[in-house]
A and B are shown apart, each in its own frame.
Chain A
Amino acid sequence: MTGRTEPASDMTSPGRWHRRHLLAIEPLSREEILTVLDVAAAMKEVSQRDVKKVPALRGKTVVLLFFEPSTRTRTSFEIAAKRLSADTVSFAVSTSSVSKGETFLDTVLNLQAMAPDAIVVRHRSAGAPYFITNYIDACVINAGDGSHEHPTQALLDAMTVRERLGRLDGLKVAIVGDILHSRVARSNIFLWHKVGSEVWVCGPPTLLPPVFRQWPVRVTYRLEEALEGADVIIVLRLQLERHVSLRFPSIREYFQRYGLTRERLKYAKAGVLIMHPGPMNRGIEIESEVADGPDSVILYQVSNGIAVRMAVLYLLLGGATVP
Chain B
Amino acid sequence: MRIIMTADDMERTLARIAHEIVEKFNREIAHAVMVGIRTRGLPLAQRLQARLRDVAGVTLPLGALDITLYRDDLTQIGPAPLVRKTELPFRVTDRPVFLVDDVLFTGRTIRAALDELIDYGRPRTVRLFVFIDRGHRELPIQPDVVGQWVATELDEIVHVLLREIDGRDGVVVTRRTEPLNFEALV
Contacts and interface: CB of A to CB of B under 8 A. Distances in A.
A114 interface: no
Contacts of A322: 79
Contacts of B107: 3
A320 B77 contact: yes
Given A5-B158, A42-B85, A54 B119 contact: yes
Given A53-B119, A320-B76, A2 B81 contact: no
Given A16-B79, A54-B69, A55-B69, A318 B105 contact: no
B102 A5 contact: yes
Given A51-B120, A84-B69, A320-B75, A2 B106 contact: yes
Nearest to A2: B106
A41 B85 CA distance: 7
B103 A4 contact: yes
Interface in B56-71: 66-71
A314 interface: yes
Interface string A285-317: 000000000000000000000000001001111
Contacts of A319: 74-75, 77-81
A299 to B, nearest CB: 22
A314 B83 CA distance: 9
Contacts of A241: none
Interface stretch (A7-15, A171-179, A190-198): A7-15
A38 interface: yes
Interface residues on B, range: 35 or more
Contact of A43 (B67, B76, B83): B83
A18 interface: yes
A56 B75 CA distance: 9
Contacts of B66: 42
A12 to B, nearest CB: 11
B84 interface: yes
- By CB atoms of chain A within 10 A, which of B76, B80, B161 has the most? B80
The majority secondary structure among interface residues of chain B is: loop
B82 A13 contact: yes
Contacts, number: 104
A45 B73 contact: no
B46 interface: no
B40 interface: yes
A90 to B, nearest CB: 24
A274 B160 CA distance: 47
Contacts of B67: 1
A49 B69 CA distance: 14
A3 B180 CA distance: 17
Contacts of B157: 5
Contact of B103 (A5, A16, A316): A5
A45 B86 contact: yes
Interface string B108-133: 11001001100111000000000000
A49 B84 CA distance: 15
Nearest to A315: B80
Nearest to A316: B80
A172 B91 CA distance: 42
B126 to A, nearest CB: 17
Contact of A320 (B78, B103, B105, B109): B78
A1 B73 CA distance: 7
B87 interface: yes
Interface string B156-169: 01111100001000
B50 to A, nearest CB: 22
Given A45-B86, A50-B120, A4 B109 contact: yes
Nearest to A51: B119
A4 B76 CA distance: 16
17 contacts: A1-B108, A2-B106, A3-B106, A5-B158, A7-B159, A7-B166, A15-B82, A16-B82, A38-B82, A42-B66, A45-B86, A49-B120, A54-B70, A314-B69, A319-B75, A319-B77, A320-B78
Given A1-B108, A4-B39, A42-B66, 18 more contacts: A1-B112, A2-B105, A2-B106, A3-B104, A5-B102, A8-B180, A17-B80, A18-B79, A43-B83, A50-B120, A54-B116, A55-B69, A315-B79, A318-B74, A318-B81, A319-B74, A319-B77, A319-B78
